[in-house]
């Protein structure tokens, strides 16, 4: 099985897409009031209006993004209105993680690999 797309539904898709664009994601396609798709190596992240959504909403998914600089990514997220949940967690040889909520309350985990 191959993951193709991750869909987030938002009443104001352009506003939520602006949050992810400010974090450093690149927009591949945009019909700003209906559908915004970000480029991804493995799967595309899409932000869609409720009328354009192709699936039922879920509340138990977590978006995981790998970042080069965890502190910088958290600062950018805070500046865009994200709610940081707890402290950075050190996972030893596996790296470090932090959790936050985007403006639509989707859970995000930022992951920074351990230095080699």
Query: Which pairing describes strands 5-9 and 35-38: parallel, antiparallel, or unpaired?
Result: unpaired
Q: pTM (2 decimals)?
A: 0.83
Q: Which residue has the tokens 């209105």?
A: 81
Length of the chain, in residues: 116
- Is the pLDDT reported for residue 1 higher than 90? no
3-class SS at 95?
A: coil
What is the percent of the chain where pLDDT is above 70?
94
> Which pLDDT value is given to residue 54?
65
Residue 38: band (very low, low, confident or very high) from pLDDT cuts 50, 70, 90:
very high
pLDDT at 51: 86
Nearest partner of 53 among 39, 34, 37, 38, judged by Cα = 34
Q: For position 27, what pLDDT does the model report?
A: 93
- Please check the confidence at residue 31 and state whether its pLDDT lies above 70: yes
What pLDDT shows up at residue 53? 67
Q: What pLDDT is attached to residue 60? A: 73
- Give residue 30's Cα distance to chain centre: 17
pLDDT in tens, 59-82: 678 889 999 999 999 999 999 999
């Amino acid at each position: 099985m191959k993951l193709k797309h991750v869909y987030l539904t938002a009443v104001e898709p352009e506003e939520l897409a602006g949050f992810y664009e400010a974090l450093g994601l690149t927009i591949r396609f945009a019909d700003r009031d209906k559908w915004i798709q970000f480029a991804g190596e493995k799967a595309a992240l899409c932000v869609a209006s409720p009328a354009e959504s192709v699936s039922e909403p879920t509340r138990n998914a977590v978006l995981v993004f790998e970042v080069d600089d965890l502190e910088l990514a958290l600062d950018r997220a805070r500046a865009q209105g994200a709610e940081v949940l707890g402290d950075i967690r050190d996972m030893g040889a596996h790296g470090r993680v932090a959790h936050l909520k985007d403006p639509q309350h989707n859970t995000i985990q930022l992951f920074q690999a351990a230095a080699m």
